[in-house]
Structure 1
Amino acid sequence: MDMSPLWISLKTAFSATFITFFVGIAAARWMSAYRGKLKGFIDALFNLPLVLPPTVVGFFLLLIFGRYGPIGKLLFELGTTIIFTWPATVIAATVVAFPLMYKTSRGAFEQIDYNVVNAARTLGVSEWKIFWKIILPLAWPGIAAATVLSFARSLGEFGATLMIAGNIPGRTQTIPVAIFFAAEGGDMDKALIWVILIAVISLAVILLMNYWTEYQRRFLSSMSSAEGN
């Protein structure tokens, strides 16, 4: 049995999660502090891939990265292309996973007690240090949960991936795509193997996250008890 869909899926999910981690946190931090008139519109735009059908997201990506799209045309002139390549799977997974990272991280930032942040500012602490030393650690449980959700979403992406990357065995065929074509071809046993495998991976990731969150909660609780004594 060809195991390339597993490696392609894991490679894609890790790459997309890495990108959404930084881009999502930056967007969430900016939006949590932004007070402009366009806040509602920008927030809706960031969350749009979450509510759109994946095939619609894939179609928009085709318009952007296709041969006659703004980015695709530029890449074509440079002698390269994104469509139907492995980077296309990363782009599709990143776009659909971004809203989960953004929305959950923003919620974590907005739940912070900013009295602590303001106290640090009155002491002359720079905004950069405030973010890395105060805001990020306080929001970390939510950010960690957002990272896991983004990874799981990237791992299970199908529609947009099929639209922009296609089904090329050994290059762009991820586990969800392999499941679809195996089932369509009547190879239900093969499809079932992939279904069980991706379910086990997703469950393992969520369980590890739950154990880690519980450990963090107990650690913080013990630290608070020690300080109280």
Structure 2
Amino acid sequence: MSRLWWRALGILGAVGAVYIGLPYVLVQRLNLGIVRQGSGAEKTFALTFDDGPDPATTPAVLDTLQAAGVQATFFVIAANAEAHPDLIARLLQGGHGVEPHAARHVHAWIRSPWGAFLDPLRAARRVSAVTGQVARFHRPPHGAYTLATILGQRVAGVVGAHWSLEGGDWARGATPETLPTQILAKLHPGAVLVLHDAGPGARVTVPALPEVLQLMQEGGWQAVPLGELPGVGPRTWRDVLTGR
């Protein structure tokens, strides 16, 4: 291989390290500038759902939450929100948070920089048009970031929202019978738990949710929307250096 090819590969590697590698380390691993965890001062955690709303599954999730007196935050797909404004209205009436998840549910690493930049903007604008509220948080698909994703969130005026506890309802082998105890075993004060009210994960979460909430309440846990989690806020360099 000629020197020119090696040089080109070196340049591509350096660009990739800045565009994907740096955000992966700083944002996805160190959580700098995004929300992932509350203060952990009490047995309170944020309950969040991704990928809805879906008329086939979201109503059952809402029925279960209402019966348990629990409120959560739903990160919704823009097209789904636009197609089902009645479900968005029910979410808001129930006191749940509604925030943008994506305009297109595509992993940021395989998108063009321009597409990754525009997605938070488009998602926030379209979801806000349905909710009538200004978007506060944004959770990119798969929790994946690039430099363009970060810039898009900044321009959109939203804070990235990750999670500290993944329910794994989408995973192969996950069942409604195993999900509740798996979650409870890993639940910790200030956690941000992610489940799914639509898509493959909903087949497990919908039937498992009543037991999940029952076990949590029996254990003295309180679930709240992300914006109400004690100590919630973007992680700073000081937090990173002090291990908070």
Sort the TM-score into its range (normalised by shorter chain): under 0.3
Query: Based on CA coordinates, which of the two structures has the bigger radius of gyration?
Result: 1
More strand by share: 2
| TM-score, scaled to structure 1 | 0.24
**If each structure's helix is expressed as a fraction of its own residues, which one has the higher value?**
1
